[in-house]
A and B are shown apart, each in its own frame.
Chain A
Amino acid sequence: MGIWICLDIGSTWTKATAVDPDAPRIVGTSRSRTTVETDVNLGVSAALAELVRQCGHHSIDRRLACSSAAGGLRMAAVGLVPELTAEAARRAAFSAGAKVIRTFSHELTAADLRDLDSMRPDILLLCGGTDGGNRRGLLHNAAALASLETVFPVVLAGNRSVAEEAAGLLRGRGKPVRITENVMPEFNRLNLEPAREAIREVFLERIVKAKGLDKVASLVDDLLMPTPFAVLNAVRLLAEGYDGETGWGDLMALDVGGATTDVYSMAAGEPSLPGVLWKGLPEPYAKRTVEGDLGVRLNAQAITETLGDGLHGLSQLALRAHVTTDTASDWLKTISENPGILPESVSTSPIPSACAPEACSLSHDHSALDSALAIRAMQVALQRHAGKMEEAFTPMGRVHVQTGKDLTGVRRLILTGGPLVDALDPAGLANAALSADPSAAASGTLLLPDKMDLFLDKSYILAAMGLLAAEQPLVALRIMKKEMIAL
Chain B
Amino acid sequence: MNEKTLILGVIGADVHAVGNRILEYAFRQAGFRVVNLGVMVQQEEYISAALETAADAILVSSLYGHGEMDCRGLRQKCEEAGLEGILMYVGGNLVVGKQEFHEVEMKFRAMGFDRVYPPGTAPDTAIEDLQRDLGVV
Q: Which residues of A contact B (CB under 8 A)?
A: 80-81, 83-85, 128-130, 132-135, 161, 184, 186-188, 277, 279, 392-396, 399, 401
**Contacts A394-B15, A395-B13, A395-B64 given; does A80 touch B51 at CB 8 Å:** yes
Question: B54 contacts A133, CB within 8 Å?
Answer: yes
Instruction: Let me know if B52 and A392 touch, CB within 8 A.
Output: no
B48 touching A83, Cβ below 8 Å? yes
C-alpha gap A84/B35 in the complex (Å): 14
Residue in contact with B52 in the complex, picked from A81, A279, A395, A399, CB distance below 8 Å: A81
Can you list 16 A-B pairs, Cβ within 8 angstroms, ordered by A? A80-B51, A80-B52, A84-B52, A132-B1, A132-B53, A133-B55, A134-B51, A187-B52, A277-B15, A277-B39, A392-B40, A394-B13, A394-B14, A394-B15, A396-B15, A399-B40
| Contact assessment for A395 and B40 in the assembled complex, using a CB-CB cutoff below 8 Å | no
Task: Please give the residue numbers on chain B whose beta carbons come within 8 Å of chain A beta carbons, in ascending order.
Answer: 1, 3, 5, 13-15, 35, 38-40, 48-49, 51-55, 64-66
The distance in angstroms between the C-alpha atoms of A83 and B48, with both chains bound, is: 8
By a CB distance below 8 angstroms, the chain A residues around B48 are 81, 83-84
| Contact A135 B54, CB 8 Å, known A395-B64, A396-B15, A396-B64 | yes
In the complex, which residue of chain B has the Cβ closest to the Cβ of A135?
B54
CA distance A130 to B52 in the complex (A): 6
CA distance A379 to B53 in the complex (A): 37
In whole Å, how far is B54's beta carbon from the nearest beta carbon of chain A?
Answer: 4
A85's nearest neighbour on chain B, judged by CB, is: B52
Beta-carbon nearest neighbor of B53 in chain A: A133
Q: B54 — which chain A residues lie within 8 A by C-beta?
A: 129, 132-135
A393–B66 alpha-carbon span in the complex (Å): 14
Q: Quick one: given A84-B48, A133-B5, are A399 and B53 in contact (CB under 8 Å)?
A: no
Query: Which residue of chain A has its CB nearest to the CB of B34?
Result: A187
Rounded to whole Å, the gap between the CB of A85 and the closest CB of chain B is 6
Which residues of chain A come closer than 8 Å to B5, judged between CB atoms? 132-133
Q: Which of these, A81, A132, A279, contacts B51 with CB under 8 Å?
A: A81
Interfacial chain B residues near A188, Cβ < 8 Å: 35, 49
A133 and B5 CA atoms in complex are apart in Å by 9
Identify the closest chain A residue to B39 (Cβ).
A277
Contact B40 A279 (CB under 8 A): yes
B13 touches A134 (CB 8 A): no
List the 5 closest A-B pairs by CB distance, nearest first. Answer: A394-B13, A133-B53, A187-B35, A81-B48, A133-B54
User: Given A128-B52, A130-B53, list of 9 further CB < 8 A pairs?
Assistant: A129-B54, A132-B1, A133-B52, A135-B54, A188-B35, A277-B15, A277-B40, A394-B64, A399-B15
**B47 nearest CB neighbor, chain A only:** A81
Write the nearest CB–CB distance from B21 to chain A, whole angstroms: 15
Among residues of B, the one whose C-beta sits closest to the C-beta of A84 is: B52
- The residue of chain B having its C-beta at the shortest distance from the C-beta of A401 within the complex is B40
Question: Using Cβ atoms and an 8 Å threshold, which residues of chain A touch B64?
Answer: 394-396
CA distance in complex: A130, B34 (Å): 13
Complex alpha-carbon distance, A186 and B35, angstroms: 9
Contact A129 B52 (CB under 8 A): yes
Give the residues in chain B near A130, CB-CB below 8 Å: 52-53
CA distance A378 to B53 in the complex (A): 37
Closest to A279 in B: B40
Residue of chain A at shortest CB distance from B13: A394
What CA separation (Å) do A401 and B5 show in the bound complex? 27
B38, B39, B48: most-surrounded residue (chain A CB, <10 A): B48
B136 → chain A closest CB, angstroms: 16
Cα–Cα, bound, A317→B104 (Å)? 59
